[in-house]
Structures are given as structure tokens and as C-alpha cells.
Structure 1
Amino acid sequence: MSVSPSQDQAPPSGDWRRPAIVVVGLVALFVAMLSAFALPPLHLKPRDIPLAVAGPSGPAEQLRHQLQEQQPGAFDISMVGNAQEAKDRILDRDVYGAIVTDGTGTTVLVASAASPAVANTLKTLATQLGEAQGAAVPVDDVRPLPSDDPTGAGLAAGALPLALGGWIGAVVLLAAVPRPRQRAVAAFGFAISGALALTALMQYGFGSLDGNYWLTSAGAAFGIAATAWTILGLRTALGNAGLGLGAVTLIFLGNPLSGLNSAPELLPSGWGTLGQLLPPGATGTLLRSLAFFDGAGSARPLTVLACWLAGGLALYVVGLRRARNRVVAPTSADSENRAVKESAPAV
């Protein structure tokens, strides 16, 4: 009488390769996570920050050359005619700040709402200019953050909930709502209700936002929908591998590269641009534009999120059709076999 091996028995020595591979993979994952979250903050510095210089051509050009020589590559400088034009460009989100000079005095314009980190960089620059000129250089914050959150911590902290919340919401919908049509309706319902709740908490609970509540909520809903539908589409089309791919894209890359804690121009070259092409970064930029600048500068993030949303919807439809074909094909084969048996003459 043969005895089948028990499941509790130790596996053969050759089977230890799988646990070893899993351990190595987990270690590599932890290293990648640490690198993704730690490297960008460790290498923050100004890189081609859009900056305007305003004033008469002679003093303005002299100041531009001075900045380029003292901090090469730090600023992408554009020349404007006067202080009002510089302020308009800041509020249109074309530049982060401006230096206004008339040859005898200098003023630095900043917008803390655009990026507290860049505003602090420009304030430091004002101090340096004042030391060089022998007189204090005043700083004018043309678009400050709300008084209840002067450092912008509330909006910066919203990057992870937007990324992780959309991922978790999609996973829950996949597990709890089996019907595809109901799941699709629930996904949009989750995006809208989640955005209303998130915006209300940040604006009325934390005081981190002070713009139009409904407009900002619409932007947040667009961002959550893009994130959730990306996961729904990847999981439906690629299976469990899609969940892993979505986590890497949205959480490991999207969150640390979003620039919400600093600015895309402060991140290492290329990484800031990549972050703005991912849903967390695009959503953060869109919320800043809608909440603080009346929608100025929102065209690019809206386009990015629309592409992610459309891609997720397309993958979802493809995955559903593929699954439906897998079900229909065996059923058709069974019907043909049954018809052949029924038509066969009796022996």
C-alpha cells in the first residue's frame, strides 16, 4: 500500500529556489521603495525654475546676467516690461516669481500657493540680492497660501491619499461588485463622492484650500477617476499583474515624483517631468491651479488625466470582451458536440 506524501513534509531541496527568489524579490522591492521615496528629497535644488525679470532693459539685463552667473541652470529667466506684467504672469502660472528692478531698488515677487519651496528659494535669493546691493530687498507674496495652512502641508499630504485611495477603491470594487456595469457606475460614484469629501476636509476642516469648492472638487474627482480607472483597466486586462503594475506606477513612482511637497523643477532632471505625466502629479498640479489660480495652468494636467482615464476605460472594455470570449467559446463548442451526437444514427 503506497502512502501519498503529506503536505506538511519538508519540500525537496530543489524547491528552496522559489523561497530564495521570493526573498530576493522582496529585498529588491524594499530597495526600490526606499530609492523612490528618499532620492528625490535628497537631491532637491533649483533646476530651470521659470522666473521673470521686470524693469528697464539695462538694469534688467544686468540682473539677468548676474543670476545666470551666480546660479547657472537654476532659473529659466524671461524678460517682462514692468511689475504688473510680472504679476500677471505669476497669476497665470507662467512663472513662479519675479524680480522687479529699476536700477535703484529691487523687489522680489513670489507666490507661496504655487510652491512654498520655490517661494522660500526666492526669499533666500532676495536676501542675497540685498546683501550684494547693501539694502534690504522687500518680498511681496502675490498669491499666499491660506492663513490656516501657511506651509501648504495639507495639500502636499493629499498626494498619497489620492494615489493610494484610488488604488484601494478600485481593488475593493473589483472584489465587492461582480457585475461590470454596476462596477463602472460605482467607480464614477466613488470618484465624485470621494472628491467632495476630500475637498471639504481640506478646505473646511484643515483650511488648506480657499478657492471655489465645487470647481476644486471637480478637479479632485477627475484625478480620483483617472487613478481608479487605471487600476480597474489594468486588473481587468492583465489580471493580478495589473495590480502590481498599477501600484508601481501610482504609488512607488507617482507619489514621490508628484512634486506636491516641493515643485517639479526642484526634482532631479527628468524625474519632475515624469511625475507630472503620472496621475498623482497631474492631480496635484490641477488642484493648485483650480484652488489658488482660478484654473490658470490647468490645461496640461487635465490632458494628462484625460489620457489616463481614457486608457483605463479602454483596458477595462478590452478585458471584459476577452473574458466574454473565453466563456462563449467553450459554450459554442459544447453546443456543436451535442448537435453532432443528436444527429448521429442509433446503432
Structure 2
Amino acid sequence: MSTLETMPSTETDDGPTPSRDIVRMLGLAVALALTACLALLAVVVPGQNSMPREVPIGLAGPEETVSQLANLLSTAQPDAYDVRIFDDAEAMRDATEQREIYGGFVMDESSPGVIIATGASPALASFLTSFGGQLGLTNVSDVAQTTAADPTATGILVAVVLTSILSLLGAFGLARLEPGRPRAQVVGAVVLAVVTGLAVAGSLQLLGSVEGVFWTVAGAVALAVLGGTLAALGLIALLGLVGAVAYLVIVVLPGIGLAGMTSAPEMLPAGWGTLGQYLPPGASGSLLQSVAYFGGGGALRPVLVLLGWAVLGLVLVALGTLRRRRADARAAALEAALAAEAEADAEEAAESRRQHDDSLAAGPAGAAEPASVAESARTSGPAVRPEPAEVSEPAEVPETSKEPVRSETPGTSADGPADTDDRGPAEPDRPWRQ
């Protein structure tokens, strides 16, 4: 064996080589780094560019006073506020409770004051309170007050982030645990939503972030998880692992930053806050705020948004299932065609062998004779080997004459001139023995 044959090979066809492993690890590291950067940008950039942009607030009171205050607001910060005029303080309060506005100023001489909604936006509530103090309005009425244990509604923000990520993880886990079983995946999504809703609502109640609204908060969280999980399941069913990554990069990370939970959607760059309210994280945050602090006011739009994501997810799951079944049918048809072709080849080979055997059997008799002789010799046992015959010696030629044969010419012999010595006649030649 040569040295080249005994040396182990550094490359194998069965497993990945070290260079491929390094490339894969680098690719994974780059992908994770880019995802982390995107998450950082999605959360930090909206906060850095946060400022009032057409924030809806209300004014109520005498027409002349209200007009002067509206001009003052538009002059101080152009396009910062969308000022809406109400007949009285009660109408403005109702609009605030339905989340049509974030609050406003009551300039009525009988009951001047400021109406705020801390549960909608602690930042805007603080601004309205401060600006009202400059106007001499010290009576502040909070129609959506947060709890004393969590005055900035941090628990709601954390719940939105966790449920958004959990929806993706749950969808990925269901796709791995129940591959090719869309009904089981949908049932698993419902179970996950119910369990998560109860767990998150209980945690918020225990931490003091919400009070007395356990079941409504649990239902809101369950709907949020259901919509996000079904949407992620649909993308995974249609695109596989790429669908999960797409949901993370396109929906979860931007949705958390554009939800406006730390300020308000109207304080984000133009258009981005509105977009965030139609993504699952933004709709989830708005729904939780509505059921936790507003008694359900303004909950219709986020409920419809989350239901829309759930329906979209079901449609994508159906499309992915149909696509997979068609692919399986094509694969089965191809496998059947290959099996039929292999069977036809086998039958053709068998027919060729039969024809060959028939041609040998139909040949001349002499061609088959050696086989019959060999068969008879094999069945009759060992053959008796004949003994060789003895070779008899040839008879000795008798001497015909004592005298040598002489030639016809006198004085000569057949071998030459006559011998003149006295030794007598030569003896005749004797025949050789065999």
C-alpha cells in the first residue's frame, strides 16, 4: 500500500469542513450583530426624535379666550398640536376617556382646570400639567390615572415587549413540535395565548401595575399573543425559517420602537407613529392601556388590528399548507415515476435473460453434448484409469550371412576399396534396440 493511500484525507464529502464551519459561524455572528443593531436603532431613534407632532388636545371655554390660547399654542410650537374646541368641560372629558384627545384646558370661569390622561401618555400628561400651571390652571383632573405602585406604566411597556417576543418564540416552537400539522399549530397558539394572558395579567396585578381589571387585561394579552403567534406561524409556514426572521426584523423590532409607549405615537416622526399602531406591538400596547386605565375606551381599533393579524396568519398558514401538499404530491408523483421506470428496466432485463437462455437451449446438439458428458461423469463417480500397455522389444534380426555384402565391382566394397588386411571379413551391423 502506498503512502498516499494510507494518509487520511483532510476533506470529506459527508461532513462539513473546518472552513465551512468558520464561514457559518461568521455568518451567524454577523446576522445576530445586525439584528442587535436594528433593535437598538428601532428603540433609540424614535425616542431621540420624539417631539409633539399634531398631538390632539382640547380647549373648552369662552370663544374669545379659547381663540387666544389656540393662537398662543400654534405660535409657540407650529404644527405641534391639533387643537379641538369643545362646548364644555364634560364633553372634553368624554373625548379624553374615549382616547380621542390626550386632555386639554378648561378656560371656563366657573371651573377652570386641566384634564389629563396619564395612562395614555405620562409625558404628555406632564406637559399639559406644566403648561396649565403657567396659565394659572392648578386644578388637574386625571381621567386615566395610573397606579401608585407604577405611576409611569412601566409594567404595561414590559408586558408589550415580552408578549411580542413570546409570540415569535411560541410560533417557532409550535412549527418545530408540530411540523406539517396546521390544526395542531393553531390549537397550540390558542392554548399559548390563554395561558400567557392569565400569567401576564396575574403578574401585573401582583406587581401593582393594574388594579381590579384582571380578566380584561388577561383577555387583552391573550388576543395580543394570539394575533402575533398566528401571524408568525403563517410566515413560517410559507417561508420557513426565513419567515421567522422576517417577522422579527419587520414586525417585532420596529413595532416595539414605533409603539410610542414611552411618549405617544403622535410624538414620533410623521407617519411612523401611525404605522406602529397597525403593528402587533403597537396595537397590543394601545389595547392594554385602554383596558387597564380607560375602562375599555378606545379599544375597538387595536382589537380590530389584532384580529386582522390573526386572520392574516390563518390565511398564510392555509397557503403554506397548500403549498406543502402540492410539493408533497409532486414529490410522490416523481417517486412513483422513478419506481415505474425502475420496474420497467427490471422487466426488460429479465426478458433479455430469458431470450438469451432460450437461444442457448435452441442451439446445435453438439454444443450441449459437453455439458451432458460432464453431467454423466459427475454422476457416475470416479472413472477407472486404464493401465498403459507394455511395449514389446522388436525381434532380433537373424544373421543371414557370415560374409559381408560385397559390391558388384571387383575389388571394391560398398563402403570403399576392399580391405586388404588379414583381419577377416567385417561383422554385419546389428539392429538397434528400441
The TM-score bracket by the shorter chain reads 0.7 to 0.9
Q: Indicate the RMSD between aligned Cα atoms, in angstroms.
A: 2.7
Partner of 1:258: 259
Q: Deviations over 1:167-194 (max 9, x none)?
A: 1111122222343322221111101111
Kept in 2: contact 1:59–1:102 (CA 8 A): no
CA distance in 2, matches of 1:96, 1:268: 18
TM-score when scaled to structure 2?
A: 0.71
Partner of 1:161: 162
CA distance in 2, matches of 1:201, 1:24: 36
Letter in 1 for 2:238: A
Residues 154/9 of structure 1: CA separation in 2 closer, same or farther (3 Å cut): closer
Kept in 1: contact 2:189–2:226 (CA 8 A): yes
TM-score when scaled to structure 1?
A: 0.88
Larger radius of gyration: 2
Residues 157/51 of structure 1: CA separation in 2 closer, same or farther (3 Å cut): same
- State the identity as a percent: 33
Shift of 1:73: 1.7
Structure 2 SS opposite 1:226: helix
Q: Deviations over 1:51-87 (max 9, x none)?
A: 0100121111111111111122221110001111111
Letter in 2 for 1:149: D
Shift of 1:238: 0.4
Residues 91/181 of structure 1: CA separation in 2 closer, same or farther (3 Å cut): same
Partner of 1:198: 200
Equivalent pairs counted in the alignment come to 339
Structure 1 SS opposite 2:263: coil
**Unaligned 5+ residue runs, structure 1?**
131-135
Letter in 2 for 1:190: L
Partner of 2:237: 236
Shift of 1:288: 1.2
**Unaligned 5+ residue runs, structure 2?**
352-434
Partner of 1:39: 45
Partner of 2:77: 71
CA distance in 2, matches of 1:271, 1:319: 30
Kept in 2: contact 1:211–1:292 (CA 8 A): no
Asked if 1:98 corresponds to 2:98, the answer is no
Partner of 1:181: 183
Structure 2 SS opposite 1:53: strand
Structure 2 SS opposite 1:254: helix
User: Aligned ranges for residues 86-165 of structure 1 at < 5 Å?
Assistant: 86-102=92-108, 106-130=112-136, 137-165=138-166
CA distance in 2, matches of 1:58, 1:81: 13
Shift of 1:321: 1.6
User: Which structure exhibits the higher relative contact order, with contacts defined as CA atoms closer than 8 Å and separated by 6 or more residues?
Assistant: 1
Kept in 2: contact 1:50–1:75 (CA 8 A): yes
Shift of 1:163: 0.8
Structure 2 SS opposite 1:198: helix
Residues 21/335 of structure 1: CA separation in 2 closer, same or farther (3 Å cut): closer
Structure with the bigger percentage of helix:
1
Residues 30/338 of structure 1: CA separation in 2 closer, same or farther (3 Å cut): closer
Partner of 1:54: 60
CA distance in 2, matches of 1:10, 1:184: 41
Kept in 1: contact 2:202–2:214 (CA 8 A): yes
Asked if 1:295 corresponds to 2:296, the answer is yes
Kept in 2: contact 1:49–1:265 (CA 8 A): yes
Shift of 1:106: 4.0
Q: Deviations over 1:65-114 (max 9, x none)?
A: 11111122221110001111111111111111010003698411111122
Partner of 1:314: 315
Partner of 1:5: 10
Shift of 1:285: 0.4
Letter in 1 for 2:284: T
